Structure 1
Amino acid sequence: MLKRLLPIVVLAIGVGGFWLLKVTRPAPPPVTVEEREWPVAAMTLSLGRHAPTLALYGEVLAPDRLRLVASLDGHVGQRPVRDGDRVEEGDLLVALAEEDVVPVVTRAEAEVARLEAEIEAEKIRFESDRQALAREQSLLDNARSQLERMRSLVRRNLASRAELDADENEIARAQVTLVSRQGELDGHPARLTSLEAQRRQAEASLAEARRDARRARAEAPFAGIVTAVEVAPGDRVREGDALLDLIPLDGLEVRARVPRGVQSELVSSLADGARPEAVDDEGGRYRLRALSGQGDPAGTEAILEVVSSPARLRPGSLVSLSLARPEVADSAAIPFSALYGADRIYVIEQGRLRPIEVRRHGETSGPDGGSWVIVSGEGLADGQRLATTHLPNAIEGLRVVDLSRGSGPADISATQVPAGQRSGESVNSPSAGDDVRAEAGP
């Protein structure tokens, strides 16, 4: 009987001990739920007028570049300059040999002199024909009187018929001579007009020859730099062959393509009389003069004149410019790290993030020397705290702690980051796999 009750007693003792331990155990500490905070850097927004800049990459051109060509066939007599030489106005650049230039002018002068002599001879001939015509008319009149007397004699049988025929033939010959002389006189105006036309043509050829002779000795019309030298002294050249180029020291311009989105803005500025300026990496200044009359789907070219440049520009070289665009009112300049996508930022209100839709207007130079973006939007206001640390999974209502105010009331610049962190990196920001919901504490 005892053996049968022993297991029951042991079981009862175990149950009783478990109950006693359960009753006498200490009470567990209460569980508290604590929401996680993400540390971020922030800056205070200050709205105002900001001028965005437009990055341009342009080519330097010389619209007044001068190309010298040979005005005559001949040999190069002088070429005292070389490629890269700097010349002043009036300096000799190249000259053709005199023995090739002088004969051209001499032939043209001789042709003019010959035609002037022909015109003078034609005038003398006209005067001679006019006087001869008067004499021949008088002879014809005398011959006609003689014929009448001869006819009277023949009717009275005082002269032979042969003598009458001879007088009639003499009158016929006089009439032919008179008609020929009259024709010469009538043709005088046409011959004189033709000779004068030939003389004018010869004078034009002489003017061209003298012009080409002057151009055969080319001097610099302005201060510039010699380039693209194609000939050497003694070379044989033909009319129209390239000799050399001269690039002016002043008057260079830069042509850079601007996107279609800002064309209307620049056109409006030019129409209002504004001349936006641009600067290069070395401090050179450029002024927008006009937009090209032609474009393509990618945009059109802006034409900027060089105002000043510390480095000597050369046509064909490329320059990087920053063009100042018109100011935008009620805008703010923020770092790119504060921008989410193309049109969203987050401000900190009561320790939580709130998104605001913004519009981008371009870039500008930030206080750290880097590139910042200019934005505007209806939800922006002075004094708002903008989160500048980029959180990959930022959402509305996410709890954050403002590191810029963590050590006191002083506002720390948004560009200041903890030691060991590079500018633009997030500070303890949640990764793509982090859960940004509230977490329970231990």
Structure 2
Amino acid sequence: MLKTKSKSEAIEITEPTWIVSTISVIPTTLAPNVTLYGRIESPKTAYLRSPNINAQVLQVKVLEGKKVKKDDILIHLEDTDSILKLKQHNADVKDIEAQIALEKQRHINNLTIIKHEESLLKLTKKSLQRLQKLKRQKVTSQSALDKAQQSVERQMLNITQRNLEIQNHKARVEQLQAKQSRAEASRDISKLELDRTKITAPFTGIVAKVNVSIGDRVRSGDILLSMYDNFALEVRAQIPTRYQNIVMNSTKLSAITEINGHSLTLKLDRISGQINQNSGGVDGLFKINQGMNLRLGQFLTLFLTLPEQTDIVALPYEAVYGINRIYKFIDGRMQGLKIDRIGEQTTVTGKSRILVRSPKLKDGDQVIITQLPNAMDGLKVKISVKNL
């Protein structure tokens, strides 16, 4: 039976072949584009707060989105207390001004009176001398002589006091002037507090948000509203890390965006001074030269044009595996190589291409542009369409 048993034929295993498309590459010089996503913000944004008072909101004259001019009144707070304080401090200033005027007039009077006091002193001294002579002649009494002596002493004391007042005049005026300065400062503070009950626009712009309404009670430092200058807008967009060196070493870069059907060119003004934690790049700030009715926080897509690069190959996105790997077609097999992503480019037909560079890419190389789930080095493939 063993001799008559039929022999089984060996099973031949055939390696599968995957059908792919390729593109013939030609390294050239191109200006890459990078698609960025950003939002509009303004470096000139003001958060208007309640002044150093607790007050009730009397009037709200603007709403969110309203265009306002510099010094326009936006919110009016209750001002009765401020008015009363200002009246009180105005009265204090007038009181001290009157005291200074009286002091100056008193000084003028003292200068006049001192002359009369000195004349009276001479007369009293002469009278005393006559009485002393009469006393020696025993013609007058001792009491009369004593009274004359007292008159002389009293007049000398008056002159001394008058001279002291004249000497202290300057110090008293300076003291009153110091009080006047304090009173005027208090008055000016009260006037400033009264003015601050009218919340005005610090510049021409647009009201972003109103946080209060009529009747609200606000405390010192509460945010009443925020506004921004719509002529000082910029777009903050994150530039991927792989383009960071190119951007930071370049000057006069610009980006294009489309707003309401209109194309707008933005200039890269500066790079952010810090990189946020867990971010994939650094923020670029693009200056907007025209407001075009843009609004804070508006989302925009930017197409940043980078400086021209050499030895660049434009490939369909389907050719790239992961972040930086492509496959060449060599002798019916896939051969992977690592590439540097330089940017993007949009063709005249509107198709997007990724721009890559690798020293291993030469003229005429066939790059596989079909995405295979099992792509690996050495995988057997067959070209269906050449030179796309």
Same fold per TM (> 0.5)?
A: yes
* DSSP-derived class of the 1:288 partner: strand
Residue by residue, what CA displacement relative to the aligned partner does 1:51-107 show, whole Å, maximum 9, x if unpaired? 141544x4543433333444566544433434x352343765333457566545444
Conserved in 2, the CA contact under 8 Å of 1:52 and 1:327? no
Shift of 1:332: 1.6
Which runs of no fewer than 5 residues in structure 2 stay unpaired?
Answer: 1-13
TM-score normalised by the chain length of structure 2: 0.74
| More moved, 175-184 vs 245-254 | 245-254
Shift of 1:134: 2.2
Q: What is the CA distance between 1:376 and its match in structure 2?
A: 1.4
- 2:207 corresponds in structure 1 to 225
Work out the percentage of aligned pairs sharing the same amino acid: 26
**Structure 2 counterparts to residues 1-80 of structure 1, below 5 A:** 38-46=18-26, 47-53=28-34, 55-56=36-37, 58-71=38-51, 74-80=55-61
Cα gap change, 1:128/1:309 in structure 2, threshold over 3 Å: closer, same or farther?
closer
CA contact (8 A) 1:363 1:371 kept: yes
Give unpaired runs (5+ residues) of structure 1.
1-33, 406-410, 414-442
Q: 1:388: how far off?
A: 1.8
Q: For 2:73 and 2:318, how far apart are their aligned partners in 1?
A: 60
Q: Larger Rg: 1 or 2?
A: 1
Work out whether residues 253 and 305 of structure 2, in 8 Å CA contact, stay in contact via their aligned partners in 1.
Answer: no
- Is residue 2:95 matched to residue 1:117? no
Give TM-score, length-normalised by structure 1: 0.67
**Structure 1 residues 259-278: aligned runs within 5 Å:** 262-269=243-250, 272=251, 274-277=252-255
1:135 aligned residue: 116
Q: Structure 1 stretch 205-214 or stretch 178-187: which is displaced more?
A: 205-214
1:89 to 2:94 alignment: no
Q: What do residues 338-385 of structure 1 show as CA deviations (whole Å, max 9, x unaligned)?
A: 335655534345666555553233455578867643221223334433
The 5-angstrom pairing of residues 360-379 of structure 1 reads 360-365=341-346, 372-379=353-360
Size of the aligned set, in residue pairs, is 366
User: CA 1:49/1:85 → structure 2, altered by over 3 Å: closer, same or farther?
Assistant: closer
Q: CA deviation at 1:123?
A: 1.0
Against the structure 1 CA distance between its residues 180 and 331, is the aligned structure 2 distance closer, same or farther, given a 3 Å change threshold? same
Q: Provide the residue aligned with 2:295 in structure 1.
A: 313
Cα distance in 2 between the residues matched to 1:327 and 1:203: 67
Tell me, in whole angstroms, the C-alpha distance in 2 between the residues paired with 1:343 and 1:218. 56
Map 1:15-414 → 2, pairs under 5 A: 38-46=18-26, 47-53=28-34, 55-56=36-37, 58-71=38-51, 74-82=55-63, 84-89=64-69, 92-96=73-77, 102-155=83-136, 157-218=138-199, 220=201, 221-225=203-207, 227-232=209-214, 234-237=215-218, 240-258=221-239, 262-269=243-250, 272=251, 274-277=252-255, 279=257, 286-296=266-276, 298=278, 300-306=282-288, 312-315=294-297, 321=302, 323-339=304-320, 343-348=324-329, 356-365=337-346, 372-390=353-371, 392-395=374-377, 400-405=381-386, 411=387, 413=388
What CA RMSD, in Å, does the superposition of the two structures yield over aligned residues? Answer: 4.0
User: Counterpart of 1:194 in 2: which secondary structure?
Assistant: helix
State whether residues 36 and 238 of structure 2, in contact with CA within 8 Å, keep that contact through their aligned partners in structure 1: no
Partner amino acid, structure 1, of 2:120: L
The one-letter code of the counterpart of 1:228 is: V
Contact 2:110 2:166 in 1 (8 A): yes
Look up the equivalent residue of 1:227 and give its one-letter code: K
**Whole-angstrom CA distance in 2 between matches of 1:358 and 1:237:** 61
- The question of whether the paired residues in 2 share the 8 Å contact of 1:88 and 1:223 is answered with yes
Partner of 1:303, secondary structure, is strand
Q: 1:45 is aligned with what amino acid?
A: V
Structure 1 position 124, deviation (Å): 0.6
Amino acid at match of 1:403: S
* Distance change >3 Å, CA 108–CA 255, structure 1 → 2: farther
| Pair 313,196 (structure 1): closer, same or farther in 2 beyond 3 Å | same
- Distance (Å, rounded) in 2 between the aligned partners of 1:69 and 1:36: 74
Deviations 1:147-199 (A, max 9, x none): 44444454555555444443333333223222222222222212212322333
Aligned residue number for residue 6 of structure 2: none
